[in-house]
Chain A
Amino acid sequence: MPSPELRNNLVVSSGPHIEIDDHIVRRMWATFFALLPAGIAGIYIFGINAFNIICVSVISALVTEWIFQKIRGKKVTILDGSAIITGLLLGYNLSSGVPLWIAAVGSFFSIAIGKQIFGGLGFNIFNPALVGRAFLMASWPKYMTAWVNPRWQVDAITSATPLGIIKEKLNYPLPSYWDLFIGNRGGCIGEICVAALLLGGIYLLIKRYISWQIPVSFILTLGIFSWVFPGSGLLKGDFLFSILAGGAILGAFFMATDYVTAPLTKKGKIIFGTGCGLLTFVIRRWGGYPEGVSYAILMMNAATPLIDRFSRPKKYGWKKAKAKQ
């Protein structure tokens, strides 16, 4: 009987036998680099405190991730870029006036409660950085709303965000569109320089690492509702001010687009972005906070499984199959 020669030096695996030149870790680091301009702008505007807060936040995120992965007996993947982005985003969502321990505790909470207890990357329901921020906001509101002006302004110690000025009807001058665009105003470290955020956001869009549906629907919905329904009258609101003044740009490009916590389909992403914009508007108009972006995204995160369920694409050959039944 003839018998074939079997070769154990041939690799046998299921197809496909070619792959795209793309990697999730590369995407994470691209997001990290896309976030850097906004951070650098924040540090330039608020000074060394901002730098310290961001560093503490990132280090705390990495250490927490490491500890939890060790405890859970999982492979340590702190360099996959995911924890660094969470730390960075949490730091960006803080005022440069907060004590450093706030940043450390916030990042710990983000990673531990926002991500690891759900099972780690891919399984968390809420955006971890926003979970951390919501926790800090609920626990230490005084620190979280102690705003600082850009370091070159005379009254640099206490201030208010532009949206806060409107909400509380404070007697401060409102910044111009240009100031809002370049970040010459009070606010969180990473949210104020819209120019730098757009630079990173557009880079991610061009690389197609994020899809346009969420940022565009988010920003348009927020702007349009703010324009149509100002406090009184109709169509008298300020479209540009509403999207430039708060954290909408940071949220729309970098937090609402988080793969894990956003819907899967294009249709779902538009529903999600629209919901984020609408909720942000509702919170700002009628809620207790002048800002609404983080809570809007968190609430829409909770709706993601539902959106996924109702935005399933119609499979190939679907219509005919229905007609046959």
Chain B
Amino acid sequence: MVRLAEHKELTENKAIQNAKLTVKVYIPLVQHFGRPCDKILVKPNDLVKTGQMIATSESGLFSPVHASASGKVSVITDWLHPVLGRAKAVIIESDGRDEKNYNEPAARKEIDAYSAEKIREIIFNAGIVGMGGAGFPTHIKLKPSKPVDTFILNGAECEPYLTTDHRLMVEHANEIIEGAKIVLKVLGIDNCIVAIEDNKPEAVEIFKKHLPAGFKLKILKTYYPQGGEKQLIKEILNKEVPSGGLPFDIGVVVQNVATVFAIYEAVDKNKPLYERVVSVTGSCIENPGNFLVRIGTTVRDLIQECGGFKKEPAKVVFGGPMMGIAQFSLDVPVIKTTSGIVFFSKEELVVREDRVCCRCARCIDVCPARIMPAIITMAAEKERWDIAKDYDALDCIECGLCSYICPAKRDLVHLIKYAKSRIKK
């Protein structure tokens, strides 16, 4: 529960621009929480169109992936992956024509006639996953196994630097609201709470203006990690998701605004998820901004959109600076969950130190899961996984606040993540 230095001023007033089509796109077959798509629908030298499904799966938790450019499949091989390091990917050489394999309807569709099942099928076929970072397949999330009564539209965007949700809310408020109505229809409820942090006054104003009946707007005091589902629910409803449970256990479904926008585009415009808005930002970038980027575009290509580097970057992070993942190559592609790419200069690097804990308890004061990082990490250093488990390491949401706040510069969240993996073994 900490107010962080936000650095959102770098991009918060930059309108979303379409990134130029690139020569090649690298589309990983796993961009979601779950199993990789193992049923590849194309082979090398096949011609594909933009939006064409190129891989799916027979069963299990997954979400299909689509071609993000029209052209020729060049090769299917292992390529870099921003989360997994490496994963199988379909590499497409663009023909530059961007021919779509779907038609945008001329008029607004009569969605009221659609059944919930039909809408879920559209969402599934469009390959929509949670775009806030977790990548959980949306068609599954919209089929809760318990009755729900509240839908929270998550526009908190609490990670520093990132402004994609903010720009979407400012520029596409109506579409997001239409998307939210679709979600309500699927869930069979009529209670929607729109949650926006007070560091985004422009988005708040626009939503105030467009808010339909039945929707409530909740303006939240900015703090990190409020955008996390569990924290958001606690803040808005003052309810807590049971330990080890999911939001629908207490009758709540949370979706991020980018996901809801994608739902609108899929249902209303027939458009699969093959592009997303990405904040490309940081002090090293000549022209930071928010770009509508095709999935599979590499960082190297994207940098061209931003006028290149002002300063040599020392670290490239996919996602926000708190929970994002540092990359070891500029050939990593953007995937469905890439909300931002932040470039850090050498001077901005965090220096972790090999210090012992001096028990100042700052980590315990700030932990949103209300566990004791100090004790868990001391146990982890002694490989006492039993103590780590007893002190609820598994309840850690990995927000990184403990590492951020630690005056001894200990790598707390890293140790806790390690402890979690050892406990689960």
A interface list, Cβ under 8 A from B: 1-2, 4-7, 9-20, 22-24, 26-27, 120-123, 259-260, 262, 264-266, 308, 312-321, 324
Contacts and interface: CB of A to CB of B under 8 A. Distances in A.
B329 interface: yes
Give 6 closest A-B pairs by Cβ, nearest first.
A320-B242, A4-B331, A16-B400, A122-B356, A317-B243, A321-B243
A18 B317 CA distance: 11
A7 B300 CA distance: 12
B160 A14 contact: no
A24 B353 CA distance: 11
Contacts of A318: 240, 243, 370
Nearest to A26: B407
Between A7, A11, A12, A16, the greatest number of chain B beta carbons within 10 A of the residue's beta carbon is seen for A16
Nearest to A123: B356
B352 to A, nearest CB: 7
A260 B358 contact: yes
A121 B358 contact: yes
A20 B329 contact: no
B395 A316 contact: yes
Given A6-B329, A13-B352, A17-B342, A317 B230 contact: yes
Nearest to B249: A320
A254 to B, nearest CB: 15
Contacts of B234: 316
A303 to B, nearest CB: 15
A55 B301 CA distance: 63
A17 B356 CA distance: 20
Contacts of B361: 259, 264-265
14 contacts: A6-B329, A10-B315, A11-B314, A12-B327, A16-B350, A17-B344, A24-B355, A27-B360, A259-B360, A264-B372, A265-B361, A308-B375, A313-B371, A317-B241
Nearest to A13: B326
A243 B1 CA distance: 35
A315 B243 contact: yes
B104 interface: no
A27 B407 CA distance: 8
B244 A15 contact: no
Contacts of B91: 2
A315 B392 contact: yes
B365 A266 contact: yes
Nearest to A7: B329
Given A11-B349, A15-B325, A316-B230, A23 B409 contact: yes
Contacts of A266: 365
Between B314, B316, B359, the greatest number of chain A beta carbons within 10 A of the residue's beta carbon is seen for B359
A5 B329 contact: yes
A312 B372 contact: yes
B229 to A, nearest CB: 11
B79 interface: yes
A122 B230 CA distance: 33
Between A5, A22, A122, A315, the greatest number of chain B beta carbons within 10 A of the residue's beta carbon is seen for A315
Nearest to B326: A12
Nearest to B5: A18
A324 to B, nearest CB: 6
B176 to A, nearest CB: 28
Given A5-B329, A10-B328, A16-B323, 15 more contacts: A14-B417, A15-B403, A16-B321, A16-B401, A19-B350, A20-B404, A24-B358, A24-B408, A122-B357, A122-B358, A259-B358, A314-B370, A315-B243, A317-B245, A320-B240
A122 B408 CA distance: 11
B414 interface: yes
Contacts of B358: 24, 121-122, 259-260
Nearest to A314: B370
Contacts of A122: 356-359
B364 interface: yes
Contacts of B325: 15
A15 B324 contact: yes
